[in-house]
């Protein structure tokens, strides 16, 4: 939602909740600056009706009554819009506390901490015993990428975006036009799933490969958003998690720890290199290219050829 519209809806809600009597359209227009700048009466009427419908869709109960002058009036009674008391047991309180810790590295940390403090002030249990169960773990979600926040908002608001994206086997980034669906963190990296308009297909993008700013675009989505988006399954197949074959590679000693964690065997050669056997599926060649001169594929031959082709493509660029 655009900031101007959100501010206008907030002002309208405050006017309707703050009045003790029904307010007419004329009175509301004189109280809200955005309505004064609406221009013609028709423009104001259309804007007001949309805003009223949006507030009702968000859950605000707005009453329509006839006032003494014969005009239609509007108000939102506080009794009708009061939320029930929040009651949480110890396990639910512990889950909220852990969620707040997860977000402490993001820009949402302030909002999460503030909400938690308000809940505690209202009587939410501390759930210290539940925290102790998880005290050996300190959950965190790394959000160092500048693209995270604008993409998170774009996913929420269903707004298309454009950004420059550098693939693993490309030296220069390419602009992508994407309808963002969801963000997911997997093994310390954030990924965006969405509809790539240029390719006409679903794609998954690693946020660390997005260069420059993420720019929002007007307009609706052109592709249907699926009920389930399998981000992790897609990334796993790229990284060779869905193993169907075994590769033998040489890896420089002291490097490539992500590869070592996947190996089913490691043999020290004694010449500054180690020999590893790695189960893999589709996409291992792109992953191996990221390690540059620290890795050499011994077999199979087709995997070696794919890695060499990718390296040559990077060298040409």
Tell me the CATH number at 171.
2.30.30
Alpha-carbon distance of 155 to 192, in angstroms, equals 9
- Quick check: is 236 in a domain? no
Residues 66 and 26 in one domain: yes
Q: Are 191 and 235 in contact (CB under 8 A)?
A: yes
Residues 209 and 155 in one domain: yes
Q: Indicate the SS3 state at residue 233.
A: helix
DSSP state of 219: S
Query: Which region, left, alpha or beta, applies to residue 219 given φ > 0 means left and ψ of -120 to 50 means alpha?
Result: left
Q: Which residue has the higher pLDDT, 67 or 265?
A: 265
Q: What pTM does this model have?
A: 0.45
- The CATH code of the domain that includes 26 is 1.10.10.10
Alpha-carbon distance of 44 to 29, in angstroms, equals 8
Q: Are 16 and 62 in contact (CB under 8 A)?
A: yes
2 has a pLDDT exceeding 90: no
**Residue 8 to residues 51, 111, 157, 219, Cα–Cα distance (Å):** 8, 22, 17, 21
- Quick check: is 198 in a domain? yes
Mind listing the pLDDT tens digit for each residue in 258-307? 888 888 999 998 899 999 998 877 667 777 888 888 999 999 998 899 88
Q: What is the pLDDT of residue 135?
A: 45
| DSSP letter string, 80-145 | GGPPPPP---HHHHHHHHHHHHHTTTSTTHHHHHHHHHHHHHTT----HHHHHHTTT---------
Count how many domains the chain has: 4
244 has a pLDDT exceeding 80: no
- Quick check: is 142 in a domain? no
- Quick check: is 9 in a domain? yes
Q: Which domain holds residue 169?
A: 148-231
Q: Indicate the SS3 state at residue 16.
A: helix
Residues 305 and 249 in one domain: yes
Alpha-carbon distance of 226 to 246, in angstroms, equals 34
- Quick check: is 138 in a domain? no
Residues 111 and 172 in one domain: no
Q: Indicate the SS3 state at residue 307.
A: helix
- Quick check: is 297 in a domain? yes
Give me the helices (H) in the chain, please: 3-18, 25-31, 33-36, 41-57, 90-102, 109-121, 128-133, 148-157, 231-238, 257-262, 284-289, 301-316
Residues 156 and 227 in one domain: yes
Mean of the pLDDT values across residues 110-131?
A: 58
Residues 256 and 193 in one domain: no
Q: Indicate the SS3 state at residue 189.
A: strand
**Cis peptide upstream of residue 300 (ω within 30 degrees of 0):** yes
Residues 276 and 227 in one domain: no
Residues 214 and 193 in one domain: yes
- Quick check: is 71 in a domain? yes
Nearest to 108 by CA among 157, 163, 152, 160: 152
The mean of the pLDDT values for the chain is 80
Q: Indicate the SS3 state at residue 195.
A: strand
Last residue of a domain, one of 68, 99, 133: 133
Mind listing the pLDDT tens digit for each residue in 123-179? 665 554 444 444 444 555 556 778 888 998 899 889 999 999 988 667 788 999 999
Q: Residues in the chain, how many?
A: 317
Q: What is the pLDDT of residue 129?
A: 44
- Quick check: is 140 in a domain? no
Q: Which residue has the higher pLDDT, 262 or 122?
A: 262
Residues 223 and 176 in one domain: yes
Residues 33 and 77 in one domain: yes
Q: How far apart are the first and last CA of the chain?
A: 40
Q: What is the pLDDT of residue 189?
A: 77
């Amino acid at each position: 939602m655009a900031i101007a519209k959100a501010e206008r809806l907030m002002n309208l809600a405050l006017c309707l909740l703050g009045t003790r009597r029904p307010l007419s359209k004329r009175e509301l227009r004189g109280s809200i600056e955005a309505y004064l700048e609406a221009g013609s009466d028709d423009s104001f009427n259309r804007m007001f009706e949309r805003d009223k419908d949006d507030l009702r869709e968000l859950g605000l109960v707005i009453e329509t009554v006839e006032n003494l002058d014969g005009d239609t009036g509007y108000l939102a009674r506080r009794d009708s819009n009061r939320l029930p008391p929040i009651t949480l047991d110890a396990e639910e309180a512990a889950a909220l506390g852990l969620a707040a810790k997860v977000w402490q590295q993001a820009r949402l940390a302030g909002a999460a901490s503030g909400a938690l403090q308000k809940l505690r002030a209202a009587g939410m249990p501390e759930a210290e015993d539940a925290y102790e169960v998880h005290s050996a773990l300190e959950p965190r979600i790394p959000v160092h990428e500048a693209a995270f926040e604008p993409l998170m908002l774009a996913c929420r608001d269903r707004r298309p975006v454009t950004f420059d994206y550098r693939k693993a086997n490309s030296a220069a980034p390419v602009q992508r036009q994407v309808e963002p669906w969801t963000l997911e963190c997997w093994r310390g990296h954030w990924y965006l799933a969405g509809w790539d308009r240029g390719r006409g297909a679903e794609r998954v993008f690693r946020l660390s490969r997005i260069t420059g700013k993420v720019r929002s675009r007007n307009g609706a989505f052109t592709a249907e958003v699926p009920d389930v988006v399998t981000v992790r399954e897609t990334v796993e197949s790229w990284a060779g998690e869905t193993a169907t074959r075994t590769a033998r590679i040489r890896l420089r000693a002291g490097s490539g720890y992500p590869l070592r964690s996947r190996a089913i065997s490691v043999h020290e050669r004694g010449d500054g290199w180690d020999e590893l056997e790695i189960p893999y599926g589709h996409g291992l060649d792109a992953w191996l290219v990221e390690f540059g001169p620290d890795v050499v594929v011994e077999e199979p031959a087709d995997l070696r050829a794919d890695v060499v082709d990718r390296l040559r493509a990077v060298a040409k660029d």
